[in-house]
Every structure is written in structure tokens, then in C-alpha cells.
Structure 1
Amino acid sequence: MKRSKLFAGVFTASLLLAACGGGAGADTDSAAGGNNSSQNTEGSSTENTSSKDSVTWMAMLHTPTPPSGDIEGLLEEYTGIDVEFNWVPDASKEERINAALASNTLADIVTLSQIDNTTVRQALTSGMFWDVEPYLSEFENLAAIPETTLDASRLEGHIYGVPMQTSIARYSVLVRKDWLENLGLEVPHTIDELREVARAFTEDDPDGNGIDDTVGFVERSESYMVGFRNLTGYFGADNFFHVSEDGEVIPSFMQPEFKEAMEWYRDIYANGWMNSDFAVMAKNDQKDYIATGKGGIVLSGAFDANNYKTAAVGTDQEEVMDWEIINDMTYKDVPRRMLSDTNGGMGGWLAIPKTNVETEDDLRVVLKFINDLMDEEPYTLMTMGVEGVHYEVTEDGVYNKLDDTISQQEVQPYVSSRPSQSVIIFKSASELANEGNEKIAENAEFAVINPAQSLDSETYTSQWSTLVEGIQDGYYKYMMGDIDMDDFDAAIDTFLKNGGQDIIDEFTASYAKSN
């Protein structure tokens, strides 16, 4: 039965404290979808006497309208559960979710993707939602959630919702392969080799046009949070925060390894081996800069190699552009590592309110429904749609959409509600896209997650975004030669005096409590 509707709510944040105070995947037999027994990884089963046969779901909507078509009915048929989606437009999710939490007007499943939202974190730890960790082992797909993702999803030592799984670490170093070949250079795999490539791409005419019109690195205005942050990982800096040997939790920008990466990158910029306007370059401008062949090294997602190749269509780069996707970059004796850019592979929680799902047996029905959505058949429905209607598969196993408009209307709304994004990797006609997916999968073994993600600090929640502005400003000024490292250290001192030390103390206390 199709009962999707657009969730409407009124923002009543003043009620929040009162409300809070009150209270990729395995391939399984579709015939098991409607069975309310919970099956563990050893194959034994626990009889479930629940009569619950429907689920309501407050889900995020990233498309202009809720879905049409038959996907919802096919998901119901597979799982044996009637589903009512209450779609929350992504543009108003903060207001709508806050209102629902405040008034306790929730659904059986609530998608909470605002990981750092104060209201969400307070609600999760208030007792409103089930701690699902004791039950995950009863379900084959949920039991297979990686430990790193589970760790990233914990709050005060508990998991208040099924973690939504994403790729743990998606970044790589992208280098123009055709330019390497033009200059007779080997693919760089160390920071020192990468430096030489940056020089050569700037000074040795890699495109062979006889004009001094190329650079090595192409950076943009989000450098501190994106490209440079991932570069620091190769030097040994940790992901946003670092836990010292004595258990102190400090920001990674206080680590010597972070500052060493700054010195290295500033040298790249000072030598002219990076676009001079990086501090003000917008993301789309960076993409155009790369697509038109002005730069050949990018610190970005492995998937962007294909994106840049696609963006070059119609330019003089279309026939020549090719990319190396390098995910094994190392520096000196620092082991291979890759900072997670996706919160440790955790895209939020599928939280289950105790007021809506009151008994353990009913909880198991909801958990089994989520578990079953991670089987290959429903995952394909929520990602690609129905074969012959939304996509076709070629003899080479390539998945091609048949009609982008229909897919956008009938399939795309479900994509962000998949409990896991990695059940199946659908083969693309683009070899760069396929290689990018392979590199992202490889990164998981070497991923470094933020150790403070599951910790608590009231000062971090209320002041971090303001306090860190001085650090970010110091990075850009240092990069452009306006200040030296002593001045950057002075910015750290200001950060500490204005509340940063409180963040360190609170995170350190939270870490000690959880370990």
C-alpha cells in the first residue's frame, strides 16, 4: 500500500527540554522478507511474537517532489512490511526535525543526518531512542556493519540508531596521466615525488603547447577543510582531533605533523606550483580551471577524476585528458593512511523512538525491515530502480539509465534513505568511474576517523565554528606568506584562551569516561 506523504511540522524549539526530559550487503532470500523472526549470524532464530506489520519513516527528501511510481510497493512486497514515508524536504530539515523532536511527533524510523546538530545529539542521549547495539548481531546485514562505523556512531558509549553506512574515505591524489607521459615521469607515490611532479607540471610545459600556462596543484577556497586537510593525513596528522598517549584530546592543527604539512604546502605555493588565486577560487571555478587544462594535480575525491573528464567534453582537453587516481601516497616513514571525509563512514542514524516502538519484539520488526533493505534486491530498487523500466544492463555488465527524468522522479528520492551506500557497486561505462569506486573501497583499510566524533563537549557544540575561524584565517595567511609559523602559533594561543582549552578539557574527560 502506498502511503507516502510530505511531513509538515511547526517549529517549537521551546518544547525541546520538556520533551527530552520526558523521556556491501549480504544477498538473502527474498522469501524471508515477511518473516518476523530475527535471525542471527549463526543461523539460529528467535521467535518474535510481534503483530507489527507496518513501519512509518521520517525520511529526508533531496528531490523537488516525493517519489511516484512503483518502488515503494516493491519494497513492501520484498520486506513484507507496509511502509508510510513522511518525507522531510532537505532544505527545511533542521526546522522540521527540531520541531518533531520537541513535540515528540516522530515516526517508527527517524532519519537523523545532522551529526553535529546540538538538538539531535541531545535528543539521542536523552533516552527517547532505543540503543540498538545489543540487537544488531541478530541480523545478518546489521551484524556486518564495520566496527569503525559503529565506533563513529556512538554517543556516550551507546548507538542510538542504526548507523547509515557510507564509504569511509573517498579521497585520493588525482594527477594528469597524459601529462606524466608527455614528460616521461613515473606515477608519484611519495610526497617527495609529488613535489617534483608539481614543479614539472608548472615549469616543463606538460601539455606541449610551448606556452607557460599550467600549474601543478589546483586548490580552492575550501582548501583548509578539504584538500589541505587530507594532505595533512599523509604527514601523520590525525582527523580533526588527536588523542595523545596520556589520553588528552587536542585539535589536529596543534600536532607537529600538521604544521609540517603546512610548511610543505606553503613551499609549493611560494614556488608558483599552485594556482595563485586558490584562496578565493570557488569550487565550480576550480572545476573549470581543471577541465580546460590549466592544472594537473588535485586533492579530491577519487570519483572526481571521472567528473573532470566529463567536464572536459567540448574543450580541447576532451581527447587527451586522462587521470591517475593515487590512493597510496606516503611520506617518509609514516604508514599508509587516508583521513575519512565521511565521519568514519557514518552518514547519520536511523533512530527508533521508544514512544513509537514500545517493545523489544516491535523493535526487532523495525530492525529486520532495515536489515532487509540492505539485501541486493531492495538496494537495487532504491539505487537504480526496475530493470527494463529505469535501467538496462549491457552484455558487459554496465548499468545504463533509460530515462533520467523518470529515474529522477521515481528512484532518486530513495537514494538518501538507503541504510548502506555500498551493498553493490554498479559497473559504469566509464573506466575512470569504475577505478574511482575501486580506490574508494581500498581506502577503507587505511582510513583514519575523527576520535572526537562520538565524544561530548558543550563548548565544542556552541563555539567551535567561531573559534576555528582564527585558525583557518591563520592557515590562509601563512600559505600566502603574510605571517610565519610563530604567528600561526599565536592564533592557536588565542583559540585556547577563548574557549579552545575548554573543548580540550571536555573532550578529554568524555574520552576518559568512554574508555
Structure 2
Amino acid sequence: MFRGKKAKLGLSLLSAGVVLLVGCSEKGSSTNDGEGGAAIDTIDIMTMSYTPEPPQNDSPVIKELEELTGKKMNMLFVPSTTYGDRFNVTLASGNLPHVMLGDKSPSYISAVRDGAFWDLTDYLDEYENLKVNDIVKENVSIEGRIYGIPRARPLGRNAVVIRKDWLENLGLDTPETVDDFYEVLKAFTYDDPDGNGEDDTYGMAISEFEGPWDIMQTWFGAPNKWGFDEGGELIPDFTTDEYRDAIKWFNQIYEEGLINEDFAIMDPTQWTNPMVNEEVGLIVDVADTAGRVNKAMTDRDPELDDVLDVFGAVSGDHGLVTKPTTGYHSVFSVSKTSVKTEEELKEVLQFLNDLNSEEAQNLTINGIEGRHYEVEDGNLVSLVADDEKMRNEFQDLNQIQMYLPEEKFLKPEESELTKRSNEVMVQNEEIVLPDPAYPLVSKIYAQRGQQLDNIIGDARIQYIIGELDDAGFDEAIQTWMNSGGEDYVKEINELYKESQSGTN
């Protein structure tokens, strides 16, 4: 619980970050003499981890993957909370692994332009398990070219996870409008939804991850990053009246104690803990969060099974919409410094193709049959649910999986909650609000994007916690414009017009 006296969070605290320097491993050995033969013996893969103890290179699951792919694997796991910093440090060092997880951040785009990664556009269709959906291809492209293999995700994945038993206890229905949503938050905070007579619950948990704000502001009619003005020109979302309506509402629910007061400094890895601990009634995240939270809750108390529900969004004055995902979560790029020839590139691509086979997907997601799981009536049954040491042999290996061209791995028998989550993701595809500028690659953003994002990101948080008023937010917008934003808007409009005319 974080109600009561508000902690005032300074801008420096919100912007501060810690760079973790971790020694680089030895590069994978090469036996390429230019005359053919195996070029790469060991493939270094840098990706993120979400568990405290990701698999070590001597894991029996990694050994199985090595036998399947014919390549030794050197896994470089970096905690998700520090991955962005480590990515930038690794780029600056010039000592890149063969395969590196990245996204369309300014530093990644700059690295692409500097020739750090292979252009994969003309290669992917040659590999059965590296074929990419056309929409996702456009989203991952940089100036029409593809420099990374996407990790596929559903477009309609964003959703709300809610305690349906708390709704029932309070005689409330699943919210359908923004006003309904507010009333549910208020009731979950002040009307004793768990019936224990204590003031120990609140409405919604939020962490320093900005995703929930981005999702919820579309409910108010704010564009998804970029929208159009009355003259058909692209404008940033934060310059619209609808965005301002949204952040005023965010400030209201903060001031009324309907969300956790420490959201701006809460570690995203701890985000679901308040729901697991029965302190909070809902989370705005992705639909499949429901399954993970449900498992953690039932591990803690089996009687908590079947207390969660999922829904896609609530409607505001502009109808029912929600922010889509990009259809992928980061990309795997191949370094041109570690992978020097086309022959070596094709070896790495074949390795990644093999990682997407049915057998490899099962290994990375489920572990080894007979050791970590067994199959009953075509469904997966875990053998290590209560054995953390055994789970550590394969957990986080899903972070090297791309799920291309589709998910092929075995799954447990689906619960009603999982079925509901999947239904919501499909239904959401009808209401997602695209970002018209997403495929465009701005040179200005590549150079100044982090600075520009921080200006508005920090201003939004300060507005929510009451450290900025409307005039202060207007000043932040002007600072954004003066820091390169005005040129950025002009460039995006030029790029968009070129793309629409087919000259880009």
C-alpha cells in the first residue's frame, strides 16, 4: 500500500539509470580459411533474462539444442532491467556477439546505419522457419530493409487483467467505459473488495514501465504515438487535447490513491507482486499476464484459482480502441564484425532456422521430455513445477525463441483463463489503433530520440504526480520542439508523404 502523504519524485530520479558493465565472453571460434568448410564452431547469443538464474552453458537443454543445430552455443544473458544499457555498452565496444537482441531504438538504428548488422532482407524467405508476416516485416524494417529477425507476438496482446471475484463481491460488472473503469478502481481501493475489514487494497498496480499509460491514453482518443491534425499533417500524440485529457485522468487516480504511489520507481520485475499478494485488483498489461499471475497466486494459495478475468479495453468518447503491439518483441540481428562472410551468415541463419523447428521450440519453452515434462493425451504435463533448480535448466531460453513462422511447441491443457486470454487477443485485432509513422525511420530520431523521449516521458510522470501543471507541460512540449522535435515533426511528415507516393 502506498496511499497517504505523496512522495515527490524529482526529474533526476526519473531519468537516472545505472550502466552495468559485464565482461565480454570469448568470441566463438572460427575455422573458416576462405576455402569453404564450417566457418563458425560456437555461436554467441546475447539476449535478456527475466529470472535470477538463467540457464548456464552446461545446461542439458542447451546441450540438446547444440546437438540439434550442430553448433555450440555461448549464451550471454543480461537482466531485462539493464538490457538497454548493456546493449549500448556492447555496441560502443565494437566487440559484438554473433547474434544480438535489439529493437528499433535510436542506438540500434544508428548501428544499422553504421553497418554493424547484416541486411537480411534477401535471405529470410530462403529459410522455412524464418518467414515473417508482411505487416511485421514492414514494422521491423528500416528504410525498407530488414536487419533483424523478429520475435513474433500477437498484435492484439494488450489487455486488462482483473480480479473478477472482487467485482462479484462488490456487485460490479466488468467495466465497459472509462467511467466504469474509474468506479472499479475506486471501489477496489475503498470498498473492501476482499471483505476482510481492512484498508489493505487498491485499484491498479503500475511500475516504471510506461506501457500502461501508453495503452490507457488511447482509450481517451489520443493517437498511438502519431496522429493527424485537421489538415492531414502528422502530429505527436502529446500535442493533442485527448492526450491532455488522459494525463489529467492519470493525475486524478494518482491523487486519489487508486494506484501505487511508487509507480515511477517500481521495478517492472516486481510489478505483478501486489496482485499475487492480493493487494491490487487489476493490471493493464498483456493478456497472457493473467496466466502467469494465476499460477503465482495458486502456488501461494490454491483456493485462489479462477479469480481472474481478462478484457481488452474500455471505451471513451472516441469509441473502443486500444494500442496494438508491433507484432513482435525485439529482433535478433547478426553482427557484421563477428560474422564476416556471406558463408558465415548463412550458417548463422541456418542455426536460427533450426532454433524455430518444432523440436527446438519444445526444448526452449518446455525443456527435455522425460526430464522436465511428459505428454499425456497430447498435452504437456510439467515434471518440474516445484523444482526451481530443474526449471533453471531451460527457463529464459524462451528469450532466444522467435516463434516463426508460428508457435509449434507443446502446451499444457488450456485453462478457461488461457482460452479467455487468447480470445481477447483475437478480438483486439478488430480495435487496435495503428501508429501511421511506425515504419518510418527518422534520422533526427536516431540521433536525438532518447533525449526527446525523456523530455516528454519525464514530463508525463511529473504531471501525473502533480509536479507539473498544464503550463509546465506546455513548457515541456516547447522544450521538446526546441530540442529537435520541430525538425523531427517536419521530417516525419516528409517521410510519410514519400511513403504514400511510393517514392520512399
TM-score (normalised: structure 1): 0.73
2:176 corresponds to 1:178:
no
2:49 corresponds to 1:90:
no
What are the ranges of 5 or more consecutive residues in structure 2 without an aligned counterpart?
1-23, 28-35, 80-85
- Amino acid corresponding to residue 505 of structure 1 in structure 2: K
Give the direction of change, closer, same or farther, for the CA distance of 1:273–1:299 in structure 2 (3 Å limit).
same
- Of 372, 376, 401, 1:390 maps to 372
Partner Cα separation in structure 2 for residue 362 and residue 282 of structure 1: 39
- Which residue of structure 1 lines up, in the alignment, with residue 15 of structure 2? none
Of 194-203 and 120-129, more deviation after overlay is shown by 120-129
- Amino acid corresponding to residue 163 of structure 2 in structure 1: R
1:129-183: per-residue Cα shift (whole Å, max 9, x none)? 543323433444333x222321221112111233332444543112210111112
Asked if 1 retains the 8 angstrom alpha-carbon contact of 2:212 and 2:285, the reply is yes
| Number of aligned positions between the proteins | 455
- Which residue of structure 2 lines up, in the alignment, with residue 33 of structure 1? none
Of 148-157 and 256-265, more deviation after overlay is shown by 256-265
- Which residue of structure 1 lines up, in the alignment, with residue 215 of structure 2? 230
- Which residue of structure 2 lines up, in the alignment, with residue 301 of structure 1? 286
- Of 117, 130, 134, 1:147 maps to 134
- Of 306, 315, 318, 1:330 maps to 315
Give the direction of change, closer, same or farther, for the CA distance of 1:377–1:245 in structure 2 (3 Å limit).
farther
- Which residue of structure 2 lines up, in the alignment, with residue 377 of structure 1? 359
1:452-479: per-residue Cα shift (whole Å, max 9, x none)? 5554444434444334444334333433
Tell me the secondary structure at the aligned position of residue 133 of structure 1: coil
Tell me the secondary structure at the aligned position of residue 172 of structure 1: strand
Matches within 5 A, 1:67-146: 67-71=57-61, 74-75=64-65, 78=68, 82-90=70-78, 92-100=86-94, 107=98, 110-116=99-105, 118=107, 120-127=108-115, 129-143=117-131, 145-146=132-133
- Which residue of structure 1 lines up, in the alignment, with residue 30 of structure 2? none
Tell me the secondary structure at the aligned position of residue 176 of structure 2: coil
Asked if 2 retains the 8 angstrom alpha-carbon contact of 1:291 and 1:317, the reply is no
Tell me the secondary structure at the aligned position of residue 298 of structure 1: strand
- Amino acid corresponding to residue 122 of structure 1 in structure 2: S
Tell me the secondary structure at the aligned position of residue 416 of structure 1: helix
Partner Cα separation in structure 1 for residue 230 and residue 439 of structure 2: 19
Deviation at 1:206, TM superposition (A): 2.4
Matches within 5 A, 1:448-467: 448=433, 450-467=435-452
Matches within 5 A, 1:266-277: 266-275=251-260
Give the direction of change, closer, same or farther, for the CA distance of 1:122–1:280 in structure 2 (3 Å limit).
closer
2:271 corresponds to 1:253:
no
- Which residue of structure 1 lines up, in the alignment, with residue 412 of structure 2? 427
2:161 corresponds to 1:157:
no
Asked if 2 retains the 8 angstrom alpha-carbon contact of 1:305 and 1:325, the reply is yes
Tell me the secondary structure at the aligned position of residue 121 of structure 1: helix
Tell me the secondary structure at the aligned position of residue 157 of structure 1: coil
- Which residue of structure 2 lines up, in the alignment, with residue 200 of structure 1? 187
Partner Cα separation in structure 2 for residue 215 and residue 207 of structure 1: 11
- Which residue of structure 1 lines up, in the alignment, with residue 44 of structure 2? 58
- Amino acid corresponding to residue 121 of structure 1 in structure 2: I
2:218 corresponds to 1:218:
no
- Amino acid corresponding to residue 381 of structure 1 in structure 2: L
Give the direction of change, closer, same or farther, for the CA distance of 1:504–1:404 in structure 2 (3 Å limit).
same
- Amino acid corresponding to residue 90 of structure 1 in structure 2: V
Give the direction of change, closer, same or farther, for the CA distance of 1:272–1:97 in structure 2 (3 Å limit).
closer
- Which residue of structure 2 lines up, in the alignment, with residue 41 of structure 1? none
- Which residue of structure 2 lines up, in the alignment, with residue 345 of structure 1? 328
Asked if 2 retains the 8 angstrom alpha-carbon contact of 1:217 and 1:275, the reply is yes
- Amino acid corresponding to residue 160 of structure 2 in structure 1: V
Asked if 1 retains the 8 angstrom alpha-carbon contact of 2:298 and 2:305, the reply is no
Give the direction of change, closer, same or farther, for the CA distance of 1:193–1:58 in structure 2 (3 Å limit).
same
1:346-387: per-residue Cα shift (whole Å, max 9, x none)? 41233364984645x876665444334322122112222221
Tell me the secondary structure at the aligned position of residue 58 of structure 1: strand
Deviation at 1:190, TM superposition (A): 2.7
Of 172-181 and 157-166, more deviation after overlay is shown by 157-166
Tell me the secondary structure at the aligned position of residue 293 of structure 1: coil
Deviation at 1:400, TM superposition (A): 0.7
What are the ranges of 5 or more consecutive residues in structure 1 without an aligned counterpart?
1-5, 10-49
Give the direction of change, closer, same or farther, for the CA distance of 1:400–1:430 in structure 2 (3 Å limit).
farther
- Amino acid corresponding to residue 472 of structure 2 in structure 1: D
Give the direction of change, closer, same or farther, for the CA distance of 1:152–1:272 in structure 2 (3 Å limit).
same
